[in-house]
Amino acid sequence: MGQEAGPRTIVHVDMDAFYASVEQRDRPELHGLPVIVGADPRGRGVVSAASYEARRFGVHSAMPISRAFRLCPEGVFLPVDMDKYARVSVEVMAILAEFTPLVEPLSIDEAFLDVTASGALWGDGAAIGRQIKSKIRSRVSLTASVGVAANKFVAKVASELEKPDGLVVVAPGREGEFLSPLPVGRLWGVGKVAGAELQAMGILTIGQLAQTPAAHLKARFGPHGPDLLQLARGLDDRPVQPDAAPKSMGAEETFEQDTRDVELVRATLRGQSERVARELRGTGYAGRTVTLKLRFADFSTITRAQTGDPTQDGLAIYRRVEALFSRVRLTQAVRLIGVSVSMLGSAGSGQLSLLEPDVARTERLARAVDRLAARFGDEAVRPASLVPGRRRPRPRQPSE
């Protein structure tokens, strides 16, 4: 990675505690209360979002919901309402598009904007950041934190530093100074393992990492080492890509009880495959790589993947993931199961395999099922294999 010669103005917008904030907005009686959105607190799923009031108790997203309940038993626990959050997200993204056509959503609640060419109309980066925050507050009654910098990495770090409702601007040429005192864990690609290795090298801050010889980092981290060094020095030349496809689409579920029931696992994979396929069709993508994720009773996790022709068909996805599952030796009970599809591309002409003569008919049938599901709910039409001959324990949602 290297830095462009001419400075850009990149804005990163991150909604504050998005799911929980939407719930507090829509239910005024929840203002000021610790709101926790996620799985049933009596179950074994995870926290999807926690209001800032809940975070004071140590609750955070991805935490097991049972632990969140122990930390904050007086919290208001609410289920995930993804349809509602998606509608609000559309409103927010429409606001961002008023400032520039160069908007790259990262998820339902955050996006990058390249506003380099927007200065004549909207002012400098700081002015644009203030106006974005103001429009979001006035139109959807929510707050966002905004980072402004000359590149994507620094803008994202900046948006995280003064949450909630923050605005942090990093002037061009000041990236290294801004990053220097921050812990190395702020860098993309530095998780627990890499963080521990850097600590063993005596590197605790981004500034210390920026002064480390590239050869030392390459020897320890391989090709990833020089990339870390570039980020530590505030260099990132990746453009904002408004039409970039998402990296993957997937579904995960945590069982209420750890299970060795192979048929239950297969039925769960079948349902997940259909949900992922419906999401792919709804967004116009097809994917080449199907990945199976298994988490066991001891929390160890494995993934297995298979790459083939692009698909957005639920049965095709299931056949691949079931083949992967059939090769896994279950030495202990399964806690979580997941399916994801990656290597995504447009499902337009020429993407789907021409080797399958029934592809067009299958696609028409799938879209008819999608219309029924949209009108009557996901359970209106299901594969025969998902109609149980006997009652089985159902997995909980949302999942880890």
Higher pLDDT, 371 or 14: 14
Which letter does DSSP use for residue 331 in this model?
Answer: -
Active site residue 110: yes
Q: Looking at beta carbons, which pairs linking 134-139 to residues 24 or more positions away fall under 8 Å?
A: 135/95, 135/98, 136/13, 136/15, 136/92, 136/95, 139/91, 139/95
Name the band, by pLDDT with cuts 50, 70 and 90, for residue 83: confident
Higher pLDDT, 358 or 95: 95
Name the band, by pLDDT with cuts 50, 70 and 90, for residue 191: confident
> Which among 337, 339, 354 is positioned nearest to 259, based on CA atoms?
337
Is it true that domain 176-232 has CATH number 1.10.150.20?
yes
pTM: 0.69
Coil, helix or strand at residue 267? helix
Is it true that domain 248-386 has CATH number 3.40.50.720?
no
Q: Is the pLDDT of residue 358 over 70?
A: no
Please tell me the distance from the alpha carbon of residue 281 to that of residue 393, in angstroms, as a whole number: 29
Choosing from 104, 110, 175, 274, which is the catalytic residue? 110
pLDDT at 364: 52
Q: What are phi and psi of 329, to 5 degrees?
A: -90, 115
Place of tokens 């609000």: 88
Question: What's the rounded mean pLDDT across residues 356-374?
Answer: 51
pLDDT tens readout for residues 278-332: 888 877 889 999 999 999 988 889 999 999 999 999 999 999 999 999 999 999 9
Residue range(s) occupied by CATH 3.40.1170.60 in the chain? 18-82
Query: What's the burial of 206, exposed, middle or buried (CB within 10 Å: 0-12/13-18/19+)?
Result: buried
Query: What's the burial of 99, exposed, middle or buried (CB within 10 Å: 0-12/13-18/19+)?
Result: buried
Yes or no: say if 1 and 227 are a contact pair by the CB < 8 Å rule.
yes
| CATH number of the structural domain 18-82 | 3.40.1170.60
Question: What's the rounded mean pLDDT across residues 357-385?
Answer: 50
Question: Considering the chain, what is the average pLDDT of its residues?
Answer: 86
Lowest mean pLDDT among 81-85, 135-139, 145-149: 81-85
Q: Is the pLDDT of residue 182 over 70?
A: yes
Please tell me the distance from the alpha carbon of residue 204 to that of residue 350, in angstroms, as a whole number: 50
> Which among 208, 341, 228 is positioned nearest to 274, based on CA atoms?
341
Amino acid at 48: S
Q: Which pair of tokens denotes residue 162?
A: 């003064």
Dihedral sign computed on CA atoms, order 213, 219, 220, 224 = positive
pLDDT at 349: 39
pLDDT at 363: 54
Please tell me the distance from the alpha carbon of residue 272 to that of residue 324, in angstroms, as a whole number: 15
Question: What's the rounded mean pLDDT across residues 12-37?
Answer: 97
Residue range(s) occupied by CATH 1.10.150.20 in the chain? 176-232
pLDDT at 354: 41
Q: What is the DSSP string of 91-111?
A: HHHHHHHTT-S-EEEEETTEE
Name the band, by pLDDT with cuts 50, 70 and 90, for residue 259: very high
Residue range(s) occupied by CATH 3.30.1490.100 in the chain? 248-386
